Structure 1
Amino acid sequence: MGLTFPNESAEYRAARERLLAREIELRRLIEAVARERRALPPGGVVPEDYVFEGVVDGAPAKVRLSELFLPGQDTLAVYSYMFGPERARPCSMCTPLLDGLDAAEPNIRQRLALVAVAESPLDKLRAFSEERGWRRLRLLSTAGNHYNRDYHGKGSDGGDTTMLNVFRREGATVRHFWGTEMAHSDGDPGQDHRGLDMLSPIFAMFDLTPAGRGDFYTRLSYP
């Protein structure tokens, strides 16, 4: 017999058991999709060793894509942050997501390197990072290179857009492994694309509640 809770009805328990079966089915589907993702054929070789502007030992410095991998590891995730020079403030959906990734970065780095890149100048990115209190997440400027254009951190209209790309290093060769292409597809009726929901503790938590996520959108700050 499974779990029960105080004063629940037989109707509730029967419905909950049916839902549990569906939740287990979903868990198995998520793992099956993850296995298919891991089994993808080799992706395209990165066309150039993109040069970003970052901070090394406390000072501004040029950093190549190949230098972003951590020692002894072969995986790099690059989040394209919607904070182009045309924006006075960054995207209010990207930013809370990066809040969580900043906190989780010490755990993430045990398996891969994670950086965020944006089109704005480095000084502007550093100022906002300090304002936000980010202490772990590495934020780099793509100003002057074509990374976002090539890897879909920019839309066809030239504006910035959300994208997470994963790269794999094979010896001296760096290949694209996977990108969150669902973020560039239409959502089902009544939904956004939900391309990065797998990374969001905010919306995952809301989905566990009676009201769900509703029409909620994150903000940079709240009253």
Structure 2
Amino acid sequence: MEHLQYPNESGAYRTARNALLEEEIKLRAQIEAVAEKRRALPMGGEVPQDYVFERIGKNAMPEKVRMSELFGPHDTLILYSFMYGPERKSPCPGCTHLLDSIDGAARHLGQRAAFHVVAKSPIARLAAWAHARGWEHMSLISTAGNSYDADYFGDTSKFSKGIRAQHKVPDGEDWDETIFNVFRMSDGKVRHFWGSEMAFAPPAPNQHHRAGDLADPLWNLLDMTPEGRGDDWFPKVKY
């Protein structure tokens, strides 16, 4: 394989870089192999009900919307659970920095699949936050008291005892959680297809679960740098 050479680089640098490139090529192949296996998953379980959410309608007033209606013209629906419940004074900074990036991608994503951000706060609060943050392309909807969060692990209420311990959820307490869930409409039925369950896998030592990393440009850009992500740095809502 013929490689690049940058000005004044040493032979030791090029040897190490070429070896790293070989590993990056293997990683590319592994990422695609995993994506192929994901696409080949059998269809998951049918959703237990046609959940009713709340969104801001075309007349700028709250309106009810069923899950089956969220697909629009598509057969695939992606829902991202945003940690911004009514008990929170401000949204989760991890979710917020991710959504800052996804808002730009959403204008393109909508050409291929339906995408919505769901959270437990009232729809007026979600709309106000989206406006303040400058999110113009994402659809934020409220779970409006339905059981979607519990059923699809957008909160901790149905965590097993082991996962509660892993996530350090105290007995008698529950909070909202972040997760991507993908659904498919087929023959008039909505079925679950995939969820970002990496968040609930045993974590690597001294490492965040990285369940949403493939959709997160911030962490991927930092991984390109000599300093990396840092041992204790985490994005904030405001700086």
TM class, shorter-length: over 0.9
Hey, what's the Cα distance between the residues in 1 that align with 2:235 and 2:202?
Answer: 20
Contact 1:186 1:192 in 2 (8 A): no
Summarize deviations over 1:59-108 as a string: whole Å, max 9, x none.
2100110001121x200000000001110111011011111111111110
156-165 or 73-82, which deviates more: 156-165
1:163 aligns with 2:164: no
Hey, what's the Cα distance between the residues in 2 that align with 1:186 and 1:200?
Answer: 21
Contact 1:167 1:176 in 2 (8 A): yes
Hey, what's the Cα distance between the residues in 1 that align with 2:110 and 2:51?
Answer: 21
Hey, what's the Cα distance between the residues in 1 that align with 2:6 and 2:135?
Answer: 40
Hey, what's the Cα distance between the residues in 2 that align with 1:184 and 1:55?
Answer: 32
Structure 1 SS opposite 2:140: strand
Contact 1:84 1:118 in 2 (8 A): yes
Amino-acid identity (%) = 52
Hey, what's the Cα distance between the residues in 2 that align with 1:216 and 1:164?
Answer: 23
Equivalent in the alignment of 2:19 = 18
1:181 aligns with 2:197: yes
The counterpart of 1:211, out of the listed 213, 217, 227, is: 227
Structure 2 SS opposite 1:154: coil
Question: What stretches of structure 1 of length at least 5 have no aligned partner?
Answer: none
- 1:111 Cα deviation after fit: 0.7
201-210 or 99-108, which deviates more: 99-108
Hey, what's the Cα distance between the residues in 1 that align with 2:87 and 2:113?
Answer: 31
Structure 2 SS opposite 1:86: coil
Hey, what's the Cα distance between the residues in 2 that align with 1:144 and 1:189?
Answer: 36
How many residue pairs get aligned? The number is 221
Hey, what's the Cα distance between the residues in 1 that align with 2:138 and 2:202?
Answer: 29
Structure 2 SS opposite 1:93: helix
Question: What stretches of structure 2 of length at least 5 have no aligned partner?
Answer: 158-172
Hey, what's the Cα distance between the residues in 1 that align with 2:202 and 2:135?
Answer: 32
Equivalent in the alignment of 1:65 = 67
- 1:174 Cα deviation after fit: 0.6
Contact 2:52 2:144 in 1 (8 A): no
2:151 aligned partner, one-letter code: D
Structure 1 SS opposite 2:193: strand
110-119 or 182-191, which deviates more: 182-191
Hey, what's the Cα distance between the residues in 1 that align with 2:77 and 2:190?
Answer: 10
Give the CA RMSD over aligned residues.
0.9
TM-score, structure 1 as length reference: 0.97
TM-score, structure 2 as length reference: 0.90
Hey, what's the Cα distance between the residues in 1 that align with 2:72 and 2:32?
Answer: 26
Hey, what's the Cα distance between the residues in 2 that align with 1:213 and 1:38?
Answer: 30
Structure 2 SS opposite 1:205: helix
Hey, what's the Cα distance between the residues in 2 that align with 1:102 and 1:75?
Answer: 18
Contact 1:81 1:94 in 2 (8 A): yes
Output aligned runs, 1:77-156, within 5 Å: 77-156=78-157
Structure 1 SS opposite 2:220: helix
